[in-house]
């Protein structure tokens, strides 16, 4: 079940991320603890480059014992949305948790079942799940703790252990969930408050997506200074493609463009035609793209 050769995955993780993980470990020497790993990735077919850029803590309502750990999901979701509002490129890459307290040197059967469920879930944002496991505490020299890295793929039963030679520890600052963030309380549902100029399409988009596409979330990007919609679009064959519909000022009126996650092979051609296209509202962009992608899927059926 475990396989350490040819995972075709490389991971880079800032030393500061490991330090923040180890700081959390220092607080719990009898109970398991953990958190979420966020960052970016690029993936071509089976090979992935994972770049960790931040860590989200377990949250105030996490539940721990010597052999189990449950994260505070709603806290982590709120923190993630606030990070995402400033860094739209950031994704949830996976989780980390500890076993050094119970001495179990690898993922448990329960861990594997949980991560498989996550990676195969239709609303999961990527086709992989990265799990970092803290397996031992070091007294004295070297790193404070020993860690292992695991990689799960959608529709693949194998648990890949990523060998240390494919993990790079880099010196760079973390995206901090605790940076002051004026958009924090706007992420998710209060985009309307930021209208500048007033755009009635935003309210119509919101009503439409809330009712028909609840997986798409309204967010605000400080970086581009505009609201956008992000989430998975489910196609006729049950596959999903991640989309982002971004608002931009085109002269006197606002317009929308739409992009898809770059690694969906089937949809790349159809979606690339959308790079230059502009739409009067986000819902127009989403509906057109969905229709075109469904046609591609239908034509390519076996
Ligand atoms: Zn575990």
| 82-117 core/surface letters (b: 16 or more CB in 10 A; e: else) | bbbbbbbebbbbbbbbbbbbeeeeebeeebbebbbe
What separation in Å is there between the alpha carbon of 77 and the centre of ligand 1? 21
What separation in Å is there between the alpha carbon of 75 and the centre of ligand 1? 21
Burial class (CB in 10 A: 0-12, 13-18, 19+), 145: middle
In this prediction, residue 179 carries a pLDDT of 47
What separation in Å is there between the alpha carbon of 130 and the centre of ligand 1? 14
What separation in Å is there between the alpha carbon of 132 and the centre of ligand 1? 10
DSSP code string of 141-177:
SS-SEEEEEEEEETT---EEEEPGGGEEEE--PPPPT
Is residue 245 a contact partner of residue 229, using CB atoms and an 8 Å limit?
A: yes
Strand 226-234 versus strand 2-3 pairing type: unpaired
Could you report the average pLDDT of every consecutive run of 10 residues in the chain (302 residues)?
A: 67 95 91 93 84 93 89 88 85 93 91 94 90 90 90 94 95 73 40 47 82 83 73 85 79 76 67 81 89 86 72
Contacts of 280 (CB under 8 A, 6+ apart): 201, 253, 255, 256
What separation in Å is there between the alpha carbon of 65 and the centre of ligand 1? 11
Helix (H) / strand (E) element for 129: namely strand 128-137
In this prediction, residue 190 carries a pLDDT of 37
In this prediction, residue 272 carries a pLDDT of 77
What separation in Å is there between the alpha carbon of 108 and the centre of ligand 1? 5
Rounded Cα–Cα distance for residues 263 and 27 (Å): 39
Rounded Cα–Cα distance for residues 71 and 68 (Å): 10
Rounded Cα–Cα distance for residues 281 and 253 (Å): 11
What separation in Å is there between the alpha carbon of 102 and the centre of ligand 1? 9
pTM for the model stands at 0.60
What separation in Å is there between the alpha carbon of 220 and the centre of ligand 1? 35
In this prediction, residue 186 carries a pLDDT of 40
Spatial strand order in the sheet of 240-250? 217-221, 226-234, 240-250, 253-260
What separation in Å is there between the alpha carbon of 99 and the centre of ligand 1? 6
Rounded Cα–Cα distance for residues 273 and 199 (Å): 26
């Amino acid at each position: 079940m475990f396989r350490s050769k040819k995972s075709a995955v490389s991971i880079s993780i800032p030393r500061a991320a490991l330090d923040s993980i180890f700081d959390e470990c220092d607080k719990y020497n009898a109970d398991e603890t953990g958190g979420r790993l966020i960052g970016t990735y690029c993936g071509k077919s089976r090979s992935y480059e994972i770049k960790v850029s931040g860590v989200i803590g377990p949250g105030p309502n996490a539940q721990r014992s010597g052999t189990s750990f449950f994260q505070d999901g709603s806290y982590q979701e709120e923190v993630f949305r606030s990070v995402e509002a400033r860094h739209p490129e950031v994704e949830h890459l996976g989780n980390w948790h500890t076993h050094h307290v119970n001495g179990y040197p690898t993922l448990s059967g329960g861990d594997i079942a949980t991560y498989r469920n996550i990676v195969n879930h239709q609303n999961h944002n990527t086709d992989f799940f990265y799990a970092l496991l803290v397996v031992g505490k070091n007294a004295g020299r070297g790193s404070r703790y020993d860690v292992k890295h695991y990689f799960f793929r959608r529709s693949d039963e194998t648990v890949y252990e990523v060998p240390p030679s494919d993990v790079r520890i880099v010196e760079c600052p973390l995206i901090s969930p605790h940076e002051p963030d004026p958009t924090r309380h706007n992420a998710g549902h209060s985009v309307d408050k930021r209208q500048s100029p007033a755009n009635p399409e935003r309210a119509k988009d919101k009503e439409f997506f809330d009712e028909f596409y609840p997986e798409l979330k309204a967010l605000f990007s400080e970086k581009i200074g505009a609201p956008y919609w992000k989430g998975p679009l489910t196609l006729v064959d049950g596959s999903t493609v991640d989309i982002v519909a971004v608002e931009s000022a085109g002269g006197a009126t606002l317009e929308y463009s739409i992009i898809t996650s770059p690694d969906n092979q089937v949809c790349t051609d159809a979606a690339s035609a959308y790079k230059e296209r502009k739409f009067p509202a986000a819902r127009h962009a989403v509906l057109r793209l969905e229709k075109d992608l469904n046609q591609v899927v239908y034509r390519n059926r076996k």
